[in-house]
Amino acid sequence: MSDAQVGKQMEEEKILLMSPYKMGKFELSHRVVLAPVTRSRSFGNVPQPHAVLYYSQRTTKGGLLISEGVGVSDTAQGYRDTPGIWTKEQVEAWKPIVDAVHAKGGIFFCQIVHVGRASSNGFQPNGQAPISSTDKDLTPQVRGNGIDVAQYSPPRRLSTEEVLVVVNDFRLAARNAIEAGFDGVEIHSAHGYLIDQFLKDGINDRTDRYGGCLENRCRFALEIVEAIVNEIGADKVGTRLSPYCDYLQSGDSNPEALALYMAESLNKYKILYCSAIEPRMKTIQEKVVCSYSLMPMRKSFKGTFISAGGYDMEEGNNVVAENRADLVAYGRLFISNPDLPKRFELKAPLNDYNMETIYKPHPVIGYTDYPSLETRV
């Protein structure tokens, strides 16, 4: 084999996912990102000490971690034992978790969320109706583990004035996240949750300034971005979008127009990154053949672009090699392989993930008991 052929083979075998990347002021040592994944182990909506081990297990020096979805207010919850960041107790509970990630050199962003109509009266203060852009019901949905079925209560449509209250809840949550020590926040604008319930015309049936045309439907999301940028700085803000997906009955009649409008509008605020879900991911589990691509969105957005979509190592590597994204987020593979970047680097075998224990309310089982290469017997 000639030197040129050897060089070409070495280049082809190079794991681009493990190459460094500069994201704003953050020097990332690799491009494998811990995706935000609900774990349902924050009892009473307060982060617990066992989360210290969970997140630190998945930390590498210069690695980027995004927390599980963290509620912005007492109306934001829709699932059992998910964390919040609207109280002083919650802020204090996050501090040792964030400190543990930083102690290992990790970069930690807090994903802040409001689930909107993806909730029920039992999760709401005083048993009230969940809030949304609409009063249209959400039918029962199979959860991300493919096993449990979530039931939802009829939502209450927010008034025009109340929308601004929720914008402020996101702003305060971002402030609290920085107080807890997080390096920044990711605004969850995807997956059929509250912000997405405004973005998508398959849900949003409003007739005020937050409904109707594309500009109006995107107003709520962009007002939240603006409020948070003004509060903590654009260099600490990212957002997650799923314009092509229909999680929780969140379809849109023109997802490509929505994707491009949001990507271009976000540039005005100079936020750090945009994370987007592959169009092929119609549900959390199901991949389908899809003619849409994230490339127009990727080309339009001027900051760091993160892609997620049930990738394995080879697919993720191709995403970076083909310049379809700067970083690649992994959820289930990172749950079952706490040292996922190291395994990718060594091309080591991966642990299988157990869908039955993803939301198991246990501080160890299906949470911190997956072995790393160092602990594997």
**What would the DSSP string read from start to end of 4-16?**
HHHHHHHHHH--G
Q: Does residue 193 have an active-site annotation?
A: yes
Q: Which residue has the tokens 């949905």?
A: 141
What is d(CA 257, CA 307) in angstroms, rounded to the nearest whole number? 18
Catalytic residue among 54, 79, 152, 193: 193
What is d(CA 76, CA 95) in angstroms, rounded to the nearest whole number? 21
In angstroms, the Cα distances linking 265 to 43, 300, 328 are 38, 10, 23
What is d(CA 8, CA 1) in angstroms, rounded to the nearest whole number? 11
What is d(CA 261, CA 178) in angstroms, rounded to the nearest whole number? 29
Give the tokens for residue 154. 């009829």
Could you tell me where the beta strands, DSSP code E, fall in 287-333? 304-308, 327-330
**What would the DSSP string read from start to end of 39-57?**
----GGGS--THHHHHHHH
SS3 of residue 263 by DSSP: helix
What is d(CA 101, CA 94) in angstroms, rounded to the nearest whole number? 11
* Residues present in the chain in total: 377
What is d(CA 195, CA 271) in angstroms, rounded to the nearest whole number? 17
- Angle 207-269-171 from CA coordinates, rounded to 5°: 70
Residue 254 has phi, psi (to 5 degrees) of -145, 75
Q: What residues act catalytically?
A: 193
